[in-house]
Amino acid sequence: MKNISRRTFVNKFGLGVGAAAVMTTLPSYITSSEKTEKPYTGKKLNIALCGLGNYAGMLAAGIEASEYCNLSGIVTGTPEKAVKWKKQYNIPEKNIYNYQNFDEIVNNKDIDLVYVVLPSGLHKEFVIRSAKAGKNVITEKPMAVSPADCEEMIKACNDNNVQLAIGYRLHYEPTHLEIKRLGQEKVFGQVRFIEASLGYKTYDTLDKKTIVDKNNRSEWRLNKKLGGGALMDLGIYCIQASRYVLGEEPIAVTAQFGPVNNKDRFSETEESISWQMEFPSGAVANCNTSCGYYIDRFYASADEGSFELSPALSYGPFVGRTSEKELKFPVINQQKTQLDEICKVLLENKKLPDHITGEEGLKDIKIINAVYKAAETGKKIFLK
């Protein structure tokens, strides 16, 4: 049985051929405003991608389109991928590492930054190893699997005088910047209710016979130790959107696991989960995520109006409106924009903004752990 890809989701969820085409070409898409800017000709940061899964391909295309960074190295446990990437991106042999000899990167002055794109359960190891090698680090979200791991990662980067960023690409996306503004500036008054949901139908719910090897790296989303689970993989987007639209941190959560259609496949991780977050202002966020059905939307109700997106939390293109008008923003290359904004700061030897640092990633993991505890115990869990 073949898993259903996230790209298939675009077509199946009724976004149409046009949206699917934009998503397919997203990593190389540059808006007209970007084209008219004067090209950057200064120093660029040399990046090594650690882990060459599907998303690494999108990052590589984003780096190719970027102004402030180069794809200069790779780290992979698959020799065949090393050969392919070396040829495709003209990567020198000396900048190609595997997971065993990775620490030798400390001697490589041609690598400035390591972008960790491995399963979440492996983020801690390679962020710490990168920090000890004196390299700045970006790691994909979620940052790690426990608050303790996040704290170790932050400490390692601080101890080695390097900076750590989390790959929050939507923090630079114009539609999301707008809903953040609408919420935090109370354009429609105080937001009282949020509904945020993201799910993909990643397997055939009618298939009860296929046996899945959860130790297979390609099935890491079903492996708890590797950071699997719908909440970790997808639900983090719902948590993030709720937090940055309100500009507040949740004070309590309740949660419920959803039905399990395949108990073999989901023996370690949840298929679906719903949770509710309470905020100091009195606002409530009702969130849902799943590996068993498609959903991608965000809705916020405020005292004097509302605003919403659908698609909302995936790769886009995002479609939205307020109670007064449609929301229309240019489609951007999210990976290029995120990387350029981070690399500009590092090239200027400035401190990364708080909203993308390890401290931000730690906040998400504390909330995720509280949601799991609430679902497991059936109790309201209060956050400190």
Q: What is the 3-state secondary structure (H, E, C) of 144-161?
A: CCCHHHHHHHHHHHHHCC
d(CA 4, CA 316): 18
Q: Which residue has the tokens 């309201």?
A: 380
Active site residue 214: no
- pLDDT at residue 1 is higher than 90: no
From the candidates 124, 141, 201, 214, which is the catalytic residue? 141
Q: What angle do CA 129, 230, 114 make, to 5 degrees?
A: 20
Average pLDDT value for residue range 193-210: 90
pLDDT value of position 332: 97
Residues near 256 by Cβ (< 8 Å), separated by ≥ 6?
273, 274, 275, 375
- State percent of the chain over pLDDT 90: 83
Helices (H) and strands (E) in the chain, counts: 12, 15
Greater confidence (106 vs 211) lies with: 106
Nearest-angstrom CA–CA distance, 33 and 38? 10
> What does the block give as tokens for 266?
């989901």
First to last CA, the chain: 44
pLDDT at 36: 54
CA dihedral 53, 54, 56, 60 (to 10 degrees): 140
Give pLDDT tens digits for 86-144.
Answer: 999 999 999 999 999 999 999 999 999 999 999 999 999 999 999 999 999 999 999 99
CA–CA gap between residue 256 and residue 231 (Å, rounded) = 12
Q: Residue 342 corresponds to which amino acid? A: I
Q: Is 194 helix (H, G, I), strand (E, B) or coil?
A: strand
3 C-beta neighbours (distance < 10 Å), count: 16
CA distance 257 to 270: 7
Question: 168, 172, 237, 315: which one is catalytic?
Answer: 237
The pLDDT of residue 12 is: 37
Q: What is the pLDDT of residues 20-41, one digit of tens each?
A: 333 332 332 333 344 456 888 8
The count of C-alpha atoms lying within 13 angstroms of the C-alpha of 342, restricted to the half-sphere facing its C-beta, is 34
**Which of 29-38, 74-83, 99-108, 372-381 has the weakest average pLDDT?**
29-38
Look up 81 and say whether it is catalytic: no
